[in-house]
Amino acid sequence: MKSIATALALAAATIALPASAALPVGAQAPVFTTKAALGGKPFDFALARALKKGPVVIYFFPAAFTQGCTIETHEFAEAAAEFHRNGATLIGLSADPIDKLAKFSVEACRNKFPVGVASATTIAGYDVPLKAGATMTNRTSYVIAPDGKVLFTLSQMNPAGHVQGTLDAVKAWKARKR
């Protein structure tokens, strides 16, 4: 655990790009369908279908197999069972091609949750371009309620806090539903 914290601090120190999210809490999240991979196997992921099961945690990340993205994905993989126990679907999105994401789904996601292709339309809809006109995404995490409303947003290039923030939001949603 100490090595993860050290790696997070190092990653944060090397990334000085600002990030912002245009979708505030309460906004309607754009629906999308995309190619995703779980355990190296591609499939079609549809947000609308996932929302029928419960809240969806979407985390956008700049690029598979980069230091900060791998650290963040490992942390989501470690928490994947807890997200599931709390009724949430988890998916990571990046502008990487599906073949790269299929490998990442095995190596970084550890076969515990899917990663999918963030299209230009999805990047624009969630306002997560790394910079104006970019096809890469910044690092932004959302929790989307089953009604499609944004419950939580965290937009910062430092991967620290994304897993805990989204998990806390999912648990708070579940507690309100009891």
* Catalytic residue ranges: 69
* Nearest-5° Cα angle at 19, 17 to 24: 170
SS in 3 state form for 99-157?
HHHHHHHHHCCCCCCCEEECCHHHHHHCCCECCCCCCCECCEEEEECCCCEEEEEEECC
What does the DSSP 8-state code read for residue 66?
Answer: S
Helix ranges restricted to H, 44-161: 47-51, 67-85, 98-107, 120-125
Q: Is 24 helix (H, G, I), strand (E, B) or coil?
A: coil
Question: What is the spatial distance between Cα 21 and Cα 39, in angstroms, rounded to a whole number?
Answer: 29
β-bridge pairing 56-60 and 89-94: parallel
Question: What is the spatial distance between Cα 25 and Cα 155, in angstroms, rounded to a whole number?
Answer: 12
